[in-house]
Each structure stands twice: as structure tokens, then as C-alpha cells.
Amino acid sequence: KILVIDFGSQYTQLLARRIREIGVYSEVVQFDEKIDLKEIEGIILSGGPDSVYAKDAPQIPNYVFDLKKPVLGVCYGMQSITKYFNGKVKKEKVSEYGRTEIEIKNNSKLFENLPKKFNTWMSHGDSVVEVPNGAKIIAKTSNNIIASFEYENYYAIQFHPEVRHTEFGNNIIENFVVNICGISNTWSLQDFITQKIEEIRKKVGNDKAIIALSGGVDSSVAAVLMHKAIGNNLKAVFVDHALLRLNEENDVRSIFKEIMGLDLTVVNARERFLTKLKNVSEPEKKRKIIGEEFIRVFEEESKKFSDAKYLIQGTIYSDVIESAASGKKTAKIKSHHNVGGLPEDINFEIIEPLRNLFKDEVRNVGEILGIPKHILYRHPFPGPGLAIRIIEDITEEKLEILKKVDNIFIETLRDTGWYNKVWQAFAVLTPIKTVGVVGDERSYEYVVSLRSVDSVEGMTADWSRIPFEVLDKASRRITNEVKGVGRVVYDITSKPPSTIEWE
């Protein structure tokens, strides 16, 4: 396998993912983590936000030098190799961000079969100004900055091959993994499933586990995987926390019956969530309250199930990275519930079988496991539900409004064939009221925003170019059918700089 060592770049997991796409198993570890050194055939050092000369800058772990396997340093990884072997890194006058052309100056296995010049994606303030003694410079940028060098078993590149904007990025990764490390590319998600099931069986043994089923893609796939692994020692619980979409409870019941042929335990926790959330406006506080209350409900449910020892969560990689629960050096964006939103004193051991996968990989695993497409291709729905789509405080009245608006928008997308063309669509209730005219009367009602995005991994997204006629249809229905809404707007912001959800 290829080990990816994380120094805190937002893109680290993409490296592992690109390698898996090529058909080679790869996993991410932290730079300061104790790890099992078996079966490592190559190492990648990720990018990161620090300068290599900063006081607390993360260091390359010693085993990297002991293993004597091929090492690829990306961005910060390149700079830390340079520093270790006594080259020089400096803040140059030019910082390179975004698309940057590089030119290959010397042959290298890393760039085999690639053109002499092509565009790469850069994101660096510091640059390598002197390579280690004996190293060969392989490429430079159009600003004459060193873009790549080779030194013994070390390969270094300043740009990010894992980002899609780097032309031939996948070829470079493949050259490293297959040609330089010599690994055959035969691994598949089927192997992931087999390994995971075995791993879970070993870990859980005859103990009991409960899973939080939300009816979303991630928890459905996690449930089926777990059920394959431990059968009836798994109990599925669905918490109705009052922050669900219209008809969600019934939909989830039927989904669950369809995929697992089992009955679902539904817990009515509406009162307790709404009480705890009363008058709370601050987004992170909402997330924390919901995360905590979830766990408390599950603790109570586990007591009814022979004191289940494990709690299974459908956490996937984008949740992990944006909560910065993985990279200690990664900036925290928000506390995704499942990860950053959970309390510290938990009476369970948590198992997250899909933690290293991206959404589309999760869907592929689901297809292999035989889960019907209409379930796998439901739009993502966040754990904290409508709570993070009602800006400011949550009331039952606001929930009722938002459920209806959301339902009309989704129905419109389904009716017009747009539901499956976009990655995720939903409505947001703003706390703003504006003036309107209804009949001959003045009105003063809420503004709702429709949001629809196109994305592959949820890490970046662009707003969907839905035709005006479709938006018009939704807008008319909303203002005609939903009391309390006076104005409909469409959100045209990409991620970054915004996020997909509003809170």
C-alpha cells in the first residue's frame, strides 16, 4: 500500500483517493501518529499550511528515512525533504497560487510520457531555492521557481497533482505508484468491503452495536455493511429530532425495510431537541447541542439492547476533514455532526466504517452491496438537519414553513428531471422579513433561499445552472402555497468561498 502522511493540507485525502482510483490501496495517517509499518511500498508527504522553518512545523517521521521506499513530497512535503537534506527554502517575492505552467528540464520517471510543458495547481508562499546537494532539478515554473527535483529515492513536486486543475495529475500519481513504487493496480472497492467486514467482525466479536440510521446514503450503506458483518447483533435506530424534511420518517421506514428487510426502531425525541435548541442562534452551538443530544438518546437506546458497546456512524471523509478531527493541522471549518459535534464523555466505542471514503466511493460501495439506486442517489442531508437551514433561532412555526418550501423545491426538481442532475438541493429560511403586496394588502413575510449545487466530493461545489423556468415554477408555487413566505431568492455562490449549507 501507499501511505499518505498528512501535514494538514485540505487536499490530503484526495491524494489517497486518486491512488485508490488507480487501483492501489492507500491510507492517510497523521505525521505524529504511531503506525504499523507492514506492507508499505511507497510514501507520500502531503502539503500543509506551515512554513518548514516555523517553530512548531511538523517534521517528517523517522520511519520514512528508515524504510528506504520511494517517497513523493508534495508542496510542504517537498519543502520538508529539502530542509532535511540541507537544501534551502525561502519566502520568494512571487507566491504562486492557482494555475501555473511548468516546464520539464530533465528526464524523470515521475513525468514519463508527459508533455514538456503543462499547467499545474500551486498554492505556496515559500519556495525551494536550493535543492539538496546532489539532487537533480526536474522542472521549473514560468516564474523560474523550482517545481520538481529528484534526490536518491525522494521525488519532490511543488504543485498539487491530486487537484483536478493540475493537467496530467493522475498520470504523475500513477507514474509514482506503478512505475516507481512498482505496485500492481488491481485493488478495488470490492476488496475494501471484504477487508472491512473482516475487520469489523474481529473487532466487535459477539458484542452488540447500534447504528444511527438517518435514511441518507452514508448511514444506509454503513448499515448494510455492518449487517453483513455482524447480522442481528446490529440494531438500527432512527431519531426523529423534529428537524427532518417532510415525510422523512415514513420514507426512512420504507427505505430500511427495502434494504434490510428489518423493522426500524423510531425514537420520538422531538420535544427534547426543540427544548434544548430554544432561543439558540449560534450555528456551532446548534451543532454541538444536536451532537450531544443524539448521543444521549443512543445511550438510552443501547441500554434496551443488552448495553450495546458500539455505536456505528455513517461518517465519511468530507465530514472528517472539515471538522478537522483528522488533521491536527487542518483549519476547522465547522463541526460536522458525527465528528466534531460529539461530546467527549461517550459511553460507546464509535465505529465509522466509511470514514476514509468520499461520497461517490460510498455510493459505489452501496451499489456493490446491492442497495437500490433511488436510495443511493438521494441528495445528501446533514445530521443536524433543518436546524442548520433555519438561520438564527428555531421554532415550530419556522420548521413548518421550511419543510413545505423544501418539499416544493424538491418536487419541482423531480417533476422537471433536475433532481438527478444536481448534487444537492434544498431551501434555507432566513430571519429576514420583507415587504410585499398580496391582493391589495401590504404583506411582511420571510425570505427563503433556494440552494442547489453541483459537486463530486462535497469538498468543493458550484451552484447549479438550473433553468429560470424551473426556478420560476418553484418560486410561484412557494409564494402561493406556503403561508409566511414573501420572497424567494436563489443562492449563486460556489464553495469556496461559501460552504454548501448556510451554517
Catalytic residues: 75, 160, 162
Judged by CB under 6 A, how many residues of this single chain contact ligand XMP? 17
Return d(Cα 473, Cα 482) in angstroms, integer. Answer: 14
Stated as kind and residue range, the H or E segment containing 372 is none
Return d(Cα 452, Cα 192) in angstroms, integer. Answer: 32
Number of Cβ within 10 Å of residue 334's Cβ equals 20
Secondary structure letter of residue 132 according to DSSP: P
Question: How big is the CA angle at 386 (ends 381 and 391), to the nearest 5 degrees?
Answer: 130
Nearer to ligand XMP, 145 or 312 (CB): 312
Q: 149 Cβ partners below 8 Å, 6+ apart?
A: 78, 128, 131, 132, 135, 136, 137, 138, 156
Class of residue 280 by CB neighbours under 10 A (exposed 0-12, middle 13-18, buried 19+): middle
Residue 353 interacts with ligand XMP (CB under 6 A): yes or no: no
Q: Of 288, 337, 355, 403, which lies in the binding site for ligand XMP, with binding defined by CB under 6 A?
A: 337
Nearer to ligand XMP, 131 or 225 (CB): 225
485 beta partners? 446
Q: Of 283, 383, 385, 486, which lies in the binding site for ligand XMP, with binding defined by CB under 6 A?
A: 383
Q: Which stretch binds ligand XMP (CB under 6 A): 102-110, 256-264, 293-301, 335-343?
A: 335-343
Binding residues for ATP: 214-220
Residues 432-471 that bind ligand XMP (CB under 6 A): 458
Residue 495 interacts with ligand XMP (CB under 6 A): yes or no: yes
Query: Which grid coordinates are listed for 62?
Result: 523517522
Nearer to ligand XMP, 58 or 458 (CB): 458
**Least distance from ligand XMP to the Cβ atom of residue 350, Å:** 14
Nearer to ligand XMP, 77 or 215 (CB): 215
**Least distance from ligand XMP to the Cβ atom of residue 9, Å:** 17
Residue 384 interacts with ligand XMP (CB under 6 A): yes or no: yes
Nearer to ligand XMP, 64 or 226 (CB): 226
Return d(Cα 98, Cα 166) in angstroms, integer. Answer: 9
Handedness of CA 482, 483, 487, 493 (dihedral sign): negative
**Least distance from ligand XMP to the Cβ atom of residue 458, Å:** 4
Whole-number Cα distances in Å, 23 to 6, 191, 371, 459: 21, 10, 23, 22
Number of Cβ within 10 Å of residue 93's Cβ equals 6
Residue 248 interacts with ligand XMP (CB under 6 A): yes or no: no
Tell me which residue of 262, 254, 195, 266 sits closest to 224, measured CA to CA.
Answer: 262
Residues 266-325 that bind ligand XMP (CB under 6 A): 318-319, 322
Number of helices followed by number of strands (H, E) in the chain: 14, 18
Q: Which stretch binds ligand XMP (CB under 6 A): 49-57, 69-77, 98-106, 381-389?
A: 381-389
**Least distance from ligand XMP to the Cβ atom of residue 322, Å:** 5
**Least distance from ligand XMP to the Cβ atom of residue 407, Å:** 17
Q: Which stretch binds ligand XMP (CB under 6 A): 31-39, 123-131, 375-383, 440-448?
A: 375-383
Residue 378 interacts with ligand XMP (CB under 6 A): yes or no: no
Secondary structure letter of residue 495 according to DSSP: B
Number of Cβ within 10 Å of residue 74's Cβ equals 28
Q: Of 336, 355, 389, 473, which lies in the binding site for ligand XMP, with binding defined by CB under 6 A?
A: 336
Q: Which stretch binds ligand XMP (CB under 6 A): 55-63, 87-95, 344-352, 495-503?
A: 495-503
Binding residues: 214-220
Tell me which residue of 503, 454, 470 sits closest to 335, measured CA to CA.
Answer: 503
- Residues lying near ligand XMP in the complex (CB under 6 A) are found at 318-319, 322, 334, 336-338, 380, 382-384, 424, 458, 495, 499-501
